[in-house]
Structure 1
Amino acid sequence: MNLKVKDSLIQQAESPRGLLYRMVIAYTCLAVLVIFTTALTQSNHEHINFYFVVNFFTIIILTWFIRKSFNIMSRASYVATLRIGLFLLLNSTLISMAGGLNVLDNSTTSVSAAMLYAPAIIIITHSFNKYITSVNSNYQSAVSLAFTDELTGLPNRRHLNFKLKEIENKRCTICIADIDYFKNINDTWGHEMGDKVLASVGLKLMNLSSNNLFIARSGGEEFCIIITEATDAAAQIRNICAFLEGGCNGGVNITLSVGAATKEANEMSSWVMERADAALYQAKNSGRNRIVFN
């Protein structure tokens, strides 16, 4: 299966359908034509100056902006509100153009343009704040999904890699824990039971996590535990193993084999991970359900 993922944060519709945005474009073109024709009819063509040019290009930009707003694939109310604010701003600029060409008198132009401009800015500002809130919320959700293991709810391997970089210059204890005989659980009760065991273990480990105790699912039935506080790491690991034992893991009793290694401040995390992994194999080869420090 070829999975294609777009590389833009805000997805846009490829070909927006509907008459609304076409009506806005048609309305703008007609309004400009009427204003320009009226100015020529009233022999006001001498007023086609820099002021008119600025308004004319402002109208083009606002029309383009409104057109682009219809490409945003969202049903959120702030998108519709933004379009309303832009439309009011567009009309304020059209009135300013009419005043610049002497189609309207200065007093009418100033009052009418201001009455549209002020609410337009308020509406656009409000919509933009809503948009920023929505983007930040979606970003936080995306980050959470990217760094969380879907089955266990624990930090995933990607999150673990960032954590390992974070502790490069710190002293800590790194452990790799493996559920004993997990393959037998899958073979005996099926993979669904295996998933239940992993989910149950993940929930328990999540309750133990703290600022000084980072626990992630590093892959399969393996979990990585990083103890950053300078305490009795061996006692903490024993407490974790004891906490996980029992029949609440999908109805299956489990035990853990744990390989641990102490990381000094001048050691690379990858080297310590290798030592912890070697200690884990020692624990498994020497009977499982035990902790081995390397």
Structure 2
Amino acid sequence: MKNKNFNLEQKAKFYFLLIIFINLVVLSFTATGIIIGIKEFVLNTKSTYESITCCKNICLKCLFTLRTFSIVFPWICIILFFVGIFLSIHKAILIIASSKYFINSIASAVTKNISHSLKNIILSLNLHNKITILANKNSYYAFTTGLWRPKIYLSKGICSYLTTKELTAVILHELHHKENNVPLKLFLINILCTINFFIPINKYLLKLFSSTLEKAADDSAISLSKEPLELASALVKLSKTYSTNIPHPAIPFFNEQAVVEDRITRLLGIPTNLLLHNKINMYISYTLSFIIISAVYLSLFFEHKLIDHAINCKTLVCHMIRCS
């Protein structure tokens, strides 16, 4: 199990670095292309506009040409770039503000009145001052949050709902997230993926990274508790009672039904067909991403090549005599 968990840890690290690398490369190439070519884009746009409207009206034959499209694509890339920047800034502010609001809002909900069994779990795992219990008996949740100093949060409802062994497994699962600073990693890649929101592979890799993190945390909990069935039982219980009324909306949860079911069947040792479905999604995402990234790259760095080979609409097609 330790070797298996190590492999998943390495996979999660690889997916994290891959997401960072892809998005930084795309971001740097896009920004470089815009900075280098913005003056040329403006001049070519002005020239194309004069060609299309050389007789003070729009010539339809000139409007739908390779030259026109080669002028439009760079501006589409520029719009996508700045929309992504705006969305990422908005998301970063939302997450940070929500996190700060959450910390302030739970001050009155924190309780020191915990059960004897939970005290024993905290002492045995040396988690003093690392777990916060929220006095909410009607909700069942456990999560880890905090960008710089992550903490584990448990509702009082989940503490009474799960057995001691199940609760221990859940806490060990969250402890793995805390020790690996998962909230900060998710924050970083979510911001980068938001900047390059037009790349389909980001969504696939983000899900893959999240799923691998969850499975690595499951294996870590099992290796310490030696109770795979207890963790599976806890997941089954929580999936039945899961409520969207979570006090911290900015936290990325991994409660998609397919992912939870895959984790449960994996803990029980039952093979699933999720791998085949993931491979199909992977091929589709990679293909679409390659096409989109290639289009962005060509439109920003080879626009002049397209224009050089395009028809000079003003002199050869559009109102040849009147505009000469």
| Same fold per superposition (TM over 0.5) | no
Q: Which has the higher strand share?
A: 1
TM-score bracket for the superposition, by shorter chain length: 0.3 to 0.5
Say which structure, 1 or 2, has more relative contact order (CA 8 Å, 6+ apart): 2
Q: Which has the higher helix share?
A: 2
Give me the TM-score of the superposition, normalised by structure 2.
0.31
